[in-house]
Structure 1
């Protein structure tokens, strides 16, 4: 049987060599497909490199695309050991002289020594209230923002250590610790208010199981009424009085319950560390030119990185005339890369309106070079920031200004054009509310009518009101307000026509208030309280349709220049609400442009998906050709094997004939 490969022993016929030569020709389409796939993969890799560079550019753009990014200020203390300061960016640029008369401190009281912290102290109820003690009038006034809290002491937790743990677990506005004072090996229970300031002085009331709530025996050893007599309700020792921080700012005396002082100087937070009553320490609030320069520098550097990436990916190698030796960029001649490059350059070179002093980047020291890169003149930029910060912000950011004091620019969309857009309101946003149907019962009894379950904007709150006879509906409203605040709700409580009213903190159709249960439900709100759902703002922007959600109105009119503009409209007035003047700086426009390149549905993602599909198609073509080539090779081998067999037979016949002819010749 003839061999299907190798060199025939009889014919010296090299089947492998012949088939390999023929298959090399047959495989040329496969080679072309492989080259095509490699080209696609190179482009995908190049697009990934470009996307990474553009994403870094977008990060730099984000730091300049909104006007708030330019509200950068430095608040510098002349002595950081006395105080430090931070600015929100909205403070007035100025210089202040500040004296710190005293620091705020927390109230601290302690028991006498207990010889054994594990021994029983007594049982009953401990109630801790925080408030202000006035020594001149010897009165204690409860802090209206902090409800008194109680904890029950039973036989299971009536040791000094147990009482400490019960107070700490009860979140009562104080921290309880046991301090070993070295006497008799026991310790003293120390109570420290968690927050500093005179409004957070401690008062401890005891309901002692032995019937005497103020003596120095049993649980009443822990009683502390600052207005009572020592040993008769004032049984703890004051270790540290509650104090407010006291400051003098440019000759004006100021007090704060905390050493973190806010609201005194608009936009400034002071952190107090040490008293300096006789020495004024300076506070300088200035523009943080360096931070703004750093953001612009980062923008220039990130753009130059994109420019370099695009140049490298689209370059033509003219160092050689041999096409095979050229090291061209992977995206040479690529329409997508060319489009991205031209759109970015077009955005950078066109003038920007909306500013009084600048219309191009070159006017603030950012100039385009011959190679397409940007160069920064730091001194020119610094001068522009120092003299015209608002216009520098408009040159980069999206800046919207409203003519109506209760209308505010929020943001713009990718299709929003700069311009002046009228706002007209047909429905002002409202908040959901619940109003009682009858005047409330001012007598709240523990276990009878002291609990209330409410649902506000879908969140449930379970409240327990302090028992007592309230002097007025306003006083009861304050108690309800306090309990809502303690439950971490920002809902408001008002009195309307002698009835209680809970108002949602949010605006819009999702704003609701409802009473869902509790023993105080009918006592506070009557049998048929009225619940009203909030309404979304409604109106038009630039004379076209807009969609409201809460107090936010968004232009949704396709093709309108204001499409995508978002504004916030407060107040109750309807009709003409002025206009929004919008300017879009370079960073704002480029940010939207680059977002369209790098997003999950953007230009690069679409192009990459297309190439991936092409690779899949080529792979299928390769697989089909591989199958066909296997069949072709098998056919070639079969044909040449048959030829080899035939030639072998012919050689045998030739040999036979030769022998026969030779024999005939020899016999003739």
Structure 2
């Protein structure tokens, strides 16, 4: 807030009134202004520090999430490769064993699709009200059909009620305008055929194929009944309810895409190999992400010297216990035993903590020696990803930093307190500015009043002096 304009030299007294008032006001303001300025600078630095630390932790958390992805894990102990991806894909877990497998896909698993008898009136054909029952694998799914329903509204009712169960419906209309209700399921495998009952005109036995060019009155399975997938692995016959085949080969999942071509059918070769190179790259990524976080924490905590090397400049968290607690929580995860098995701690993989910097260092030579042990690649995957969703290193590390970065967590709480302090300091500054304005006005008024009085006294004195000078002059003349 601006101070009022001060007069320069007092006309009556000759004093530098503006300078006197400014000096008195500054003397009164100085201590409090210094306090507010210093606290504001420190508080602003801390707000910035909280933001920087949260960003660093969020980036580290994202790195952990990416490394621990279940769909494309960075710590796969083995890599499974299909020689013919158009026929099948392959993935492996930490229980896999290196080797090659010859796979022939005889047929894919299919799902049930059934059609009703045709309705000459098309999609607007009237459907009786009641409860439509769709049965599959011994489970009944009921759909309420209200009064005044049509074939189209019945389709919509099925989709609304049964979408979560993988059951959907649509209408197919032929060139003559006759329509059939077609109901499909996402469940594959023999025995998953749909049966529909409960509403006249919509009774369908999905175990009976309709065949080609069916009469208008016929209903049943479209394109045949649901079947299991059939394949051979190294000549051994395997069936599966799904086109995702698990358990046939330990640690290996086959994703069937199409039937093997040719007569006899050509086999696809699946190769499972240890993923030593990929694991080394992923461990280095983990180490780099960890060290980046530690660098940020240290930068925000360690005091530095000014340009002249004389004064110590505090960082945002200098002397603050939060970074120490955070580092302690993170390092406790690094030293805690893993998810079980022969691989228990990071040091067995050549990852050590530098005692001077606190950073991690990765000795790839030591890692190579460890990986020479049979089965160790699967143990690395288990160590980082765990045997469940909680006991892997990545999950435990993520849990350790969650209290700091989560919404309403420790950093959010700290930021709220600092923002409140910022508002309080702003209020204090406004109050001080108002005090300065008022004090300046008060002192200026007092000194101006004094100057006026002094001027009046000088005028009186001058009058008296002039009077006596006149008397003396008259006496001299007489």
Q: Does 1:199 align with 2:188?
A: no
1:551-590 residue pairs with structure 2 within 5 A? none
User: 1:645 Cα shift?
Assistant: 1.5
Q: Does 1:16 align with 2:26?
A: no
**Cα distance per residue 1:620-668 (max 9 Å; x no partner):** 6556655654554344223312320222012202321332343234232
| Rounded Cα–Cα distance in structure 2 between residues aligned with 1:628 and 1:124 | 82
1:249-264 residue pairs with structure 2 within 5 A? 249-264=233-248
Pick from 80, 83, 86 the counterpart of residue 88 of structure 2.
Answer: 83
- Structure-1 residue corresponding to 2:110: 105
1:497-646 residue pairs with structure 2 within 5 A? 594-595=401-402, 611=418, 615=422, 618=425, 622=429, 625-626=432-433, 628-646=435-453
Aligned residues: 454
Structure 1 residues 296 and 163: CA distance shift in structure 2, 3 A: closer
More strand by share: 1
The higher-RCO structure (CA 8 Å, 6+ apart) is 2
| Rounded Cα–Cα distance in structure 1 between residues aligned with 2:382 and 2:269 | 32
User: 1:225 Cα shift?
Assistant: 8.0
| Rounded Cα–Cα distance in structure 2 between residues aligned with 1:620 and 1:605 | 23
Pick from 312, 316, 319 the counterpart of residue 331 of structure 1.
Answer: 316
1:113-128 residue pairs with structure 2 within 5 A? 117=122
User: 1:53 Cα shift?
Assistant: 1.8
| Rounded Cα–Cα distance in structure 1 between residues aligned with 2:158 and 2:294 | 64
**Cα distance per residue 1:105-139 (max 9 Å; x no partner):** 35667789887647979989998887xxxxxxxxx
User: 1:343 Cα shift?
Assistant: 3.9
Structure 1 residues 70 and 16: CA distance shift in structure 2, 3 A: same
Stretches of structure 2 lacking an aligned partner (at least 5 in a row):
none
1:218-297 residue pairs with structure 2 within 5 A? 226=208, 235=218, 240-242=223-225, 243-265=227-249, 268-276=252-260, 278-289=265-276, 292-297=279-284
| Rounded Cα–Cα distance in structure 2 between residues aligned with 1:174 and 1:66 | 31
- Structure-2 residue corresponding to 1:307: 294
| Rounded Cα–Cα distance in structure 2 between residues aligned with 1:223 and 1:25 | 98
Stretches of structure 1 lacking an aligned partner (at least 5 in a row):
131-142, 209-218, 400-408, 413-583
Q: Secondary structure at the match of 1:655?
A: helix
**Cα distance per residue 1:373-408 (max 9 Å; x no partner):** 444445654654564346657876888xxxxxxxxx
Taking structure 1 as the reference length, the TM-score comes to 0.53
- Conserved? CA contact 1:103–1:246, under 8 Å: yes
- Structure-1 residue corresponding to 2:47: 44
User: 1:254 Cα shift?
Assistant: 1.8
Q: Secondary structure at the match of 2:84?
A: coil
- Structure-2 residue corresponding to 1:542: none
- Conserved? CA contact 2:193–2:207, under 8 Å: no
**Cα distance per residue 1:281-304 (max 9 Å; x no partner):** 122344555664454334322322
Q: Secondary structure at the match of 2:316?
A: coil
Taking structure 2 as the reference length, the TM-score comes to 0.70
Q: CA RMSD in A?
A: 5.4
- Conserved? CA contact 1:113–1:188, under 8 Å: yes
- Structure-2 residue corresponding to 1:368: 354
Q: Secondary structure at the match of 2:288?
A: helix
- Structure-2 residue corresponding to 1:56: 59
Q: Does 1:189 align with 2:146?
A: no
Structure 1 residues 128 and 233: CA distance shift in structure 2, 3 A: farther
- Conserved? CA contact 1:83–1:271, under 8 Å: yes
User: 1:28 Cα shift?
Assistant: 0.5
| Rounded Cα–Cα distance in structure 2 between residues aligned with 1:82 and 1:397 | 30
